[in-house]
A = this chain, B = another copy of it.
Amino acid sequence: MKLGVCAHVFYPLGRGPEAFAAAVAQAAELGFEAIELPVDARSPFIDLDDALAGGHARIAETVRGAGLTISALSNHQEGQLLLGPHGVDTDAIHAGSAEVKQRYAHDRLVKTAELARRLEVDVVCGFTGCEDYSRWFPWPLEDGYERMVPQFRAVMMPVLDELAARGVRFAHECHPRQFAYNLETAQLALAAVDQHPALAFNLDPANLLLAGMDPVVFIAELGARIAHVHGKDGELVAHHAARSGLLAHGAPHRRDRGFRFRVPGWGDLSWRRLISELQLARFTGVIAVEHEDPTMSPREGLVQAVRHLAPLILRDPVPEARWW
């Protein structure tokens, strides 16, 4: 295992190659060994078309120059358009009809995978979206969730084939408003695409906590499909949870929410349990800190995350036998 960071936390540093270089340098200085690079249109650091047109060399050089590696490219924003929702909720990502949005998402993910191939990165993290996530509740349409399976398959198979052709796995991040948001729906997704070898997962344990499940069990059952891990924690805010519950609506920075994302160590997750199970699953990839903690500045959140996680990263393999 290695410790990485998701580059979105450095967006305040500005736009363009210098800002990107500053971001990478800061990541290295803080003690990270790898970086996850979002490449959707919102990224101030990477222009996907430009990178494919030759800019990728400079990206690779910048990262390597700082002594880092790229743990994954990611494209959550545009992936959401694959299955939607396709209305106003996603207009800020790409305006247009459902068809237009879906086509755009497909193309952008393929481009993302192509860039990954050129950068010798074998994971693309992202979302798939979901036509109507609220259908997890079986009313008014009892089979509402199951009805979405064919569409999931129809949209995802071509994407997965394209990625597989480039030697890249799509690491879906279970999360609210995605078709796969917990262990059971992750398994449903795998079944829907005939266990396609290119479908993997970006384990974000805080998202699974928000679904009320135990992320360690996700590792125990689907460990071989975990291609990337997010170092993100979640806190059921004890003194507010009685009022808003787990499913707190409204802006993440609202002070009195019953649930908020936190940097690792400041939430309810036991990173020792998580890392132990990742170790037993022979996971040797990157845990990339994704800082969405509304209580800490970008830099201070990273400092705290490194302080908690770095000492826990296991680097030796599990012993195969008793040595004593």
Taking beta carbons and an 8 Å cutoff, which residues of A are in contact with B?
8-9, 11-12, 77, 80, 85, 87-90, 92-93, 130, 132-146, 176-177, 181-185, 208, 211-214, 216-217, 220-221, 235-236, 238-239, 241-253, 255-256, 258-259, 265-266, 272-273, 276-277, 279-280, 292, 294-300, 304, 307, 311-312, 314-324
Cα distance A11–B322 when bound, in Å? 11
Find the B residue at minimum CB distance from A256. B220
Cα distance A322–B12 when bound, in Å? 10
Contact B323 A296 (CB under 8 A): no
Contacts of A238 on B, CB cut-off 8 Å? 214, 216, 273
The listed residue (B177, B220, B314) touching A300 by CB distance below 8 A is B314
Cα distance A259–B212 when bound, in Å? 10
Contact B321 A253 (CB under 8 A): yes
| Shortest distance from the beta carbon of A293 to any chain B beta carbon, whole Å | 9
Top 3 A-B pairs, shortest CB-CB distance? A212-B246, A213-B245, A212-B245
Contacts of A182 on B, CB cut-off 8 Å? 243-245, 247
Contact A214 B185 (CB under 8 A): no
A322-B239 contact in complex given A132-B85, A297-B317, C-beta closer than 8 Å: no
